[in-house]
Structure 1
Amino acid sequence: MLQTSRKYQVCSFCVMDNRNPGVTFDERGQCVCCQEALKRKPYEWWPTNDGRRRLKEKVESIKREMAVRPYDVMIGLSGGVDSAYLAHFLKSQFDLRILAVHVDGGWNTEAAVRNIELLVRKLDIDLYTHVVEWQEMKDLQLAYLKASVVNQDAPQDHAFFSTLYRLSKRFGQRYFFSGVNFSGESVHVPGAGYPAMDARNLRAIHRAHGVGSLPTFPTLGPIQYLWMSRIRKSIEIFKPLNYLPYDKEDAKRELVATYGFVDYGAKHQESRFTKFYQEIYLPARYGFDKRRLHCSALIVAGQMARARALEELEQPLTTPEQAARDKRFVAKKLGISVADLDRFIGLPPVAHEDYANSQALYRANGLLRKILKVRS
């Protein structure tokens, strides 16, 4: 929620500001977000020869274990830089047998679709695409807008991870290699956002504000999710880019030169809805510019100077003309007027917890895991 009761402040180390109440500062003016990321850095990012050695050992172990299976690993392929570079790196360096997974929620940009086609064809890897039934996705996303909760990307994210876990069982796969990386995504706001995998919350929001049913929408219930991800651990999520000196701009240049990769814009904007969410919804509703998270992560990684980040943030997220075009596109696709979309954007924020949810169950599971870890 937008914070207006305290004096405006920007971190002295990164560029996080206190428009979000979860961002607090120490006596030096450094925020809790980059402090926490800097503490994690030695344990989550190994951009050294040792990191490359550890990655090679992990890959070789997986190849031996999965030799009798149809694929060595699964990856997500969104058409964005991180997932595209991951596919390129794994195939060119290790010749892994890859099953690429793409979930089409109806919001792909043309650039993202073209990038996926280029990568799959030139790398000769298999692609599994799950197309979410559009009427269900539209109904669910309209329900989220009417609910006025913060995580408007939850329907897309939940559909992806639910599909991923289902496919892991179908193809007998144990490893999912993720393009998520420390260098560009290390900074988080304590207590901000809401987990997309809370299916009970998703269904409650849809019951309250949806108009149809979701017979085919891929969901994963809380018990099933905890069993597969935390207890049985049917699939291991591994982040190879954290074992490399990964730099997104260098990766983008390599992809352009090698595949004719098409730049789609800012981070995570291979989805037209995510573009609207980041450039219009979040700034209007919460006064929050997600570029601060990305720039701050690059500062923590040593890949961007703070002065340059501040200069970048001085540039507008979008132009009034482009914002108007984006709102018209989103409104038309959702079957509503721009006036209705503006009304949803202007609703008072509502907490996800105001709807039925499974957070108590997830917290209890986390506490139990901590106790068992201490005792062991």
Structure 2
Amino acid sequence: MTNRPHQICTNCVMDTTDSAIVFDEKSVCDHCNTFYSKVKPNWHTDERGRAALDRMVEKIRADGQGKDFDCIIGMSGGIDSSYLTYAAKELLGLRPLVFHVDAGWNSQIAVNNIEKVVDGLGLDLFTEVIDWEEMKDLQRAFFRSGVPHIDTPQDHAFFATMYKFALEHGVRNMLTGANLSTECIRNPIEWMYYQSDSRQIRDIHRRFGEKPLRNFPLTSILWHKVWLPYVRGIEVLRPLNFMPYIKADARLLLMDRFGWQPYPQKHFESRFTRFYESYWLPERFGYDVRKVQFSSLIVTDQMTRDEALAELSNPSYDKETIGQEIEFVANKLDISVEELMNYMALPKKTYRDYRNQEEVYRFGARIMRMVGLELGGKR
């Protein structure tokens, strides 16, 4: 956070709570300008996207010949991964194995949604359960470190486990619901640091953890960005970027077809993420991730700026039930409510206060943009 006068973009709802935000002479932010100048012109969901998608599907089918499934889809029960699972089976004719990582924080709605979609499509579900004692210890360590990005252990476990499974079972194609339609504007790095930085995870755990990480899945950027794709041929694919994907339409389809239940906010399929994004980030640091989520929908014409501002005028958490949420998180982590609230008052730290690989990520991102493999906006 800086002492800059508060300013909000005149096009979206990003503001100076992103300390690195830059505005042009019309007070339009660099998030928007990057989208309109670099992302939108190179993002195709028309016949060009369909042609690219057809080539992707052809490769997936060829790689999967003779196997029980031709790709794996990481499914959280959220709207993006749920719609991707439907699209992969019904629209693209693929044979996916649905892969779910249980990090101990699934909401009951998420459990129900996964079951409804998987059963409705007649697919197989594989669930990997993370060692809960190690997960708790690592999450408590992140609380004690004082950083904003306390959801890192959960996110890291998700994709590290998927990579490990793909490698062990010879799966060359991993499908993810990540997409430009609802995620083209990214969380500033000071809000959510790179979840795959195992150097930072190890350093924070070394300083604040209490037990060794023997079973917790760890990956590294060089392993999953270089070794796996370029040596072992394992690719992470984002099919939703090549087809029309409108959040409201996807929600209706999932509800009508499978009885899927929507969440109050994106990523709320996890009870921990719900606490983290709705309470921890805005109350302790002043970071409201709804600004990022709504701004993505604004620039892709799925939400108006006035609608976003109206939503943002309300708190991101339910004042009537937040006490129960705090108690739930504390109990799950085997700490008292008092201890959890004491974490809220710790000196504020950033990822820069601990060992990290930020320069590796920035260098990789520059290379990816230069060769046209990265269309996403700045972080």
TM-score interval w.r.t. the shorter chain? over 0.9
State the Cα distance separating 1:24 from its structure 2 match: 2.0
Aligned partner of 1:35 among 27, 33, 52: 33
Does 2:69 correspond to 1:71? yes
Map 1:306-317 → 2, pairs under 5 A: 306-317=305-316
Does 2:250 correspond to 1:251? yes
8 A contact 2:9–2:15 mirrored in 1: yes
* Secondary structure of the corresponding residue to residue 356 of structure 1: coil
8 A contact 2:76–2:110 mirrored in 1: yes
Deviations for 1:37-79, whole angstroms, at most 9, x for unmatched residues? Answer: 2223335532323322331232123212321333211111101
* Secondary structure of the corresponding residue to residue 169 of structure 1: helix
* Secondary structure of the corresponding residue to residue 320 of structure 1: coil
User: Across the two proteins, how many residue pairs are aligned to each other?
Assistant: 371
* Counterpart amino acid of residue 140 in structure 2: L
Distance 1:50 1:223 in 2: 31
Compute the TM-score of the two structures, normalised by the length of structure 1.
0.92
* Counterpart amino acid of residue 353 in structure 1: R
1:330/1:362 Cα in 2 relative to 1: closer, same or farther (>3 Å)? same
Which residue in 1 is equivalent to 2:115? Answer: 117
Residue identity (%):
39
Distance 2:92 2:237 in 1: 15
Distance 1:15 1:363 in 2: 25
Which residue in 2 is equivalent to 1:289? Answer: 288
Distance 1:357 1:50 in 2: 39
1:314/1:228 Cα in 2 relative to 1: closer, same or farther (>3 Å)? same
Greater shift in the superposed pair: 187-196 or 284-293: 187-196
Which residue in 1 is equivalent to 2:236? Answer: 237
1:360/1:133 Cα in 2 relative to 1: closer, same or farther (>3 Å)? same
1:26/1:169 Cα in 2 relative to 1: closer, same or farther (>3 Å)? same
Which residue in 2 is equivalent to 1:57? Answer: 55
Structure 2: segments with no counterpart, 5+ residues: 373-379
8 A contact 2:134–2:213 mirrored in 1: yes
State the Cα distance separating 1:194 from its structure 2 match: 1.2
Deviations for 1:248-274, whole angstroms, at most 9, x for unmatched residues? Answer: 111111111111101232101100000
Deviations for 1:114-162, whole angstroms, at most 9, x for unmatched residues? Answer: 1111111121212221101111100000000000112111101111111
CA RMSD of aligned residues (A): 2.1
8 A contact 2:166–2:172 mirrored in 1: yes
* Secondary structure of the corresponding residue to residue 268 of structure 2: coil
Map 1:124-273 → 2, pairs under 5 A: 124-192=122-190, 193-229=192-228, 231-232=230-231, 234-273=233-272
Distance 1:311 1:368 in 2: 39
Deviations for 1:292-312, whole angstroms, at most 9, x for unmatched residues? Answer: 101100111011111111112
Which residue in 2 is equivalent to 1:15? Answer: 13
Compute the TM-score of the two structures, normalised by the length of structure 2.
0.92
Deviations for 1:211-269, whole angstroms, at most 9, x for unmatched residues? Answer: 11111111124553344356426321211111122111111111111111012321011
Distance 1:371 1:36 in 2: 15
State the Cα distance separating 1:188 from its structure 2 match: 2.2
* Counterpart amino acid of residue 237 in structure 2: F
Distance 2:11 2:301 in 1: 11
1:286/1:113 Cα in 2 relative to 1: closer, same or farther (>3 Å)? same
Distance 2:92 2:317 in 1: 40
* Counterpart amino acid of residue 100 in structure 2: H
* Counterpart amino acid of residue 296 in structure 1: S
Greater shift in the superposed pair: 54-63 or 303-312: 54-63
* Secondary structure of the corresponding residue to residue 250 of structure 2: helix
